[in-house]
Structure 1
Amino acid sequence: MTAVLIVATAAPMQPAVLVEALERFRSKGATVTVACFFDGAELGINPTLAEVRTFVVAAEKWDVRFRKALGRAPANRKIWLHARRSTWLRQQYRRADLLVALDARAVHTVWQMAQRNTRAGAYHGLVPAQKALAANRSEPVGKRLERRVSAAAGIGARGARSAAEQTIRTALNKATGRRVMSNPAGAWLWTRAVAAPRIPDRLRSKLAVRLHDSAVQAGRPAAGGRAASAAVQRISSLATRADVLTKAAKA
């Protein structure tokens, strides 16, 4: 019997779609568990379709180490930190045959689970998971293994990319903050950086506004103006230029 573990970080907008998928899983002889990063009672799932539990660690059970880890972690990793603290959930993902991220925020957690249960297929979304379950019954072992490796690599890439993007955003916010821009050397460095070649207009414009705002908050509006001006000279889109100058003027 195939064991399916679905990880959800929020109740789906269309609960009927989830119920229909659970019915299909059951019709194929699979047992399904839904692990929720919210109150699982919100789903109102019939217990005959799936076991539904919440894996959020209650605040009163946070120790100092866990609290510090949550404080340092990007948003998507926070979910995984809760998941790995749950003895019940660890048992579920270690015995699962299919690991399913119901939504984008669950991808990183499912990716982490797949690293610890390498024989399970990992999927983002109910449709790919249902197709995988159907294929499991007809594919040769070699083809099945190839497909599982491909699926795990795909969700791994999405999970890693999501984690990397979150880490980059966090690092950038810290590196361009008020404290850095209050330092003449830091302001000079970022004024040069924001005018560097080959930076996409979208990123350059956001960085310019961020630097300008940080400089103003640090009491160095002139430094902010220089950073914005340096960026504008490198932005090719007239609309984006105007947007940067408008936002800088409002700061």
Structure 2
Amino acid sequence: MALGAASLTVLDRTALANGGAPVAATTPSGGTAATPALAAPTGPFTLPALGYAFDALEPHLDAQTMQLHHDKHHAAYVANLNKAVAGRKEVVGWSLDQLVRDLAKVPDEIRTAVRNHGGGHANHSLLWTTLKRDGAKAPAGELAGAIDKAFGSLSGFQDKFNAAATGVFGSGWAWLAHSKADGLTVMALPNQDSPMSTGWTPLFGIDVWEHAYYLKFQNRRAEYITAFQSVVDWDAVSARYRDALKG
């Protein structure tokens, strides 16, 4: 039977397990369309649109993982953050970055929830903006010089970053981060902790929670880390570094 130009919704076992929610929509050209920003419970924070198709990072990162990671996991962090801050006058008007950066000023009763879910929202919001299949494969300009100074070379940085990501015990992230006082560093943080909470500016990070890679890579985290490096958009990372220098 011939297919029309309208997009088709494809359900698989994961979608059925999620109550019939579509895993992705196929476009007329056969690609996998990204969804727009999804509605979250009433609150100040919303799930950002992914900005590209779920299969845009294939063959390095698979479409099904990208859809679940964005539409399910990230959405849950947003929803739970909104629940945590609901009715809390102490943090009315606070931005996401302010909540995460000034975590010590967040009321005790909601600090853990903000740390977990605010961190999760902030970390993933940054993650999506630094990935691109055909993005710049190496830093240029000021960031290139800073990486050479801090790590000896791009290869030296990648070795240290990959070791940090591989060495995370359980769930967490590895980060390239910057501070005006100390320059560039690689750090590994547990769970959804953010470099911002300790005064650092995250430039890009890799999520090594199993939800980020297990469908495609199973227990082969090292392979996932190598694949991830293939889709880091160094133009986007360089732009964040320039902004960090100005800030």
More helix by share: 1
The structure whose RCO (Cα within 8 Å, separation 6+) is larger is 2
Larger Rg: 1
TM tier relative to shorter chain: under 0.3
TM-score normalized by structure 1? 0.27
TM-score normalized by structure 2? 0.27
